[in-house]
Structure 1
Amino acid sequence: MANGKVDFFNDTGGYGFISTDDGDLDDDEDVFFHMEDVGGEDLTEGTEVEFDIESSPKGPRAANVVRQ
């Protein structure tokens, strides 16, 4: 699993981006997530999380997101 912090969260849309140094991502590439991948309460910017990185047509996507 990768580690990172929520960099951006849109509570209206229920999606956001996680910044991480883990994985084979470009240095400036954030990982997309949707609250359906998290469950529970909304995440807030700065929350530390652990997650799997999956490929999607639009770029990397977080799955199995867990708050740390």
Structure 2
Amino acid sequence: MKVTIDEDKCCGAGQCVLIAPEVFDQRDDDGIVILLEAEPAADQHAAVRESAAVCPGLAIEVIEVDKQA
């Protein structure tokens, strides 16, 4: 899994940080998302997918990577 964020779409709701704090954080000045881990560990995948699903600005993109390729 690879994760990318689009800061321009982020509205600072912070749901991603609540769901996956090991992967996402927020800037102190404006609340915009900070990506801490672009390739999260397997045990974080479900939380990252949930974060992307609930993001009101659709700022999180999850790219599933086939490890066999």
TM range (shorter): under 0.3
Higher helix share: 2
Structure 1 length-normalised TM: 0.26
Tell me which structure has the larger Cα radius of gyration: 2
